[in-house]
């Protein structure tokens, strides 16, 4: 796959103003009814992010409620935004990763999400007068800064702990193996320049990498027949008590 060149992107960003990215710019998975309207920056970003592919509707939720999922989508879109540097957590489907994992490997965090998301939205309404998803990007960021620094009120325990949990899971959903439902289209791996899963890297391959001549192969670990898939799947569906996680 090829992205629009960085220079093109910067040109477009300059046209629309890079700082003016709307809060919901990175939310293409809301279903057809929520297709982008006539905001030009949104169209530009969508084109950049999805490079011509049709947008998929959001998968059926496995664990989060629809309202929680909207909130998670909005948060991850600010943590790793869709911007001049290309697609972010939204396109990587980090929220989908989190939704799935909360029924498996991250099940012990399910309750923290329930209470943390509720507290975040309540804090948003009380301090900024609107639900989080309806705030501008700038206001969303200011809320997240309050949560990150522990300044936000209404959380069980420290809001900073909740922030770090969500940030870590967003990293997992953006940069982890696509097998788990995130890092869609290898968005995260392309962002950090990871050249892909290989089962053999020869000295010649390493030298090609050093000469910037090794292209990403866009492979998941489980694209290789050699590895047992069931183990990962079973584990993520086992009860948290048996996992000790």
Contacting positions for other proteins (CB under 8 A):
18, 78-81, 83-85, 88, 105, 141, 144, 148, 167-168, 171-172, 174-177, 179-180, 188-189, 191-195, 197-203, 205-206, 209-210, 212, 221-222, 224, 226-228, 231-232, 235, 242-245
Nearer to other proteins, 65 or 235 (CB): 235
Q: How far is the CB of 56 from other proteins (least distance, A)?
A: 22
- Our CB check for other proteins shows the closer of 38 and 210 to be 210
Closest approach of other proteins to the CB of residue 93, in Å:
14
From the CB of 79, what's the least distance to other proteins, in Å?
4
Q: Which is nearer to other proteins, 156 or 168 (CB)?
A: 168
Q: Is 157 left (phi over 0), alpha (psi -120 to 50) or beta?
A: left
What does the alpha-carbon distance between residue 84 and residue 12 come to, in Å, rounded to a whole number? 8
Instruction: Find the shortest distance in angstroms from Cβ 54 to other proteins.
Output: 25
At its nearest, how many Å lie between other proteins and the CB of residue 242? 6
Cβ proximity to other proteins, 126 vs 245, nearer residue: 245
Comparing CB distances to other proteins, the nearer of 65 and 234 is 234
Q: Closer CB to other proteins, residue 8 or residue 35?
A: 8
What's the chain look like in SS3? CCCCCHHHHHHHHHHHCHHHCCCCCCCCCCCHHHCCCCCHHHHHHHHHHHCCCCCCCCCCCCCCCHHHHHHHHHHHHHHCCCECCECCHHHHCHHHHHHHHCCCCCHHHHHHHHHHHHHHHHHHHHHHCCCHHHCCHHHHHHHHHHHHHCCCCCCCCCHHHHHHHHHHHHHHHHHCCHHHCCCHHHHHHHHHCCCCCCCCCCHHHHHHHHCCCCCCCCCCHHHCCCCCCHHHHHHHHCCHHHHCC
Q: How far is the CB of 52 from other proteins (least distance, A)?
A: 22
């Amino acid at each position: 796959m090829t992205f629009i060149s960085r220079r093109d992107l910067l040109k477009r960003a300059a046209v629309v103003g890079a700082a003016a990215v709307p809060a919901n710019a990175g939310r293409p998975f809301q279903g057809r009814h929520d297709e982008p309207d006539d905001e030009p920056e949104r169209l530009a970003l969508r084109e950049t992010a999805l490079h011509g592919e049709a947008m998929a509707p959001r998968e059926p939720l496995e664990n989060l409620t629809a309202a929680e999922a909207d909130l998670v989508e909005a948060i991850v879109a600010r943590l790793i935004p869709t911007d001049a540097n290309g697609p972010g957590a939204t396109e990587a489907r980090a929220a989908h990763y989190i939704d799935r994992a909360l029924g498996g490997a991250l099940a012990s965090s399910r309750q923290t999400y329930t209470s943390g998301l509720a507290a975040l939205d309540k804090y948003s309404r009380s301090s900024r007068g609107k639900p989080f998803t309806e705030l501008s990007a700038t206001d969303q960021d200011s809320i997240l800064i309050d949560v990150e620094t522990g300044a936000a009120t209404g959380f069980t325990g420290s809001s900073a702990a909740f922030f770090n949990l969500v940030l870590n899971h967003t990293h997992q959903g953006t940069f982890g193996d696509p097998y788990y439902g995130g890092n869609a289209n290898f968005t995260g791996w392309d962002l950090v320049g990871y050249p892909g899963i290989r089962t053999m890297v020869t000295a010649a391959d390493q030298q090609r990498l050093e000469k910037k001549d090794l292209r990403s192969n866009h492979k998941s670990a489980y694209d290789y027949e050699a590895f047992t898939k069931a183990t990962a799947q079973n584990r993520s569906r086992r009860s948290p008590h048996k996992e000790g996680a």
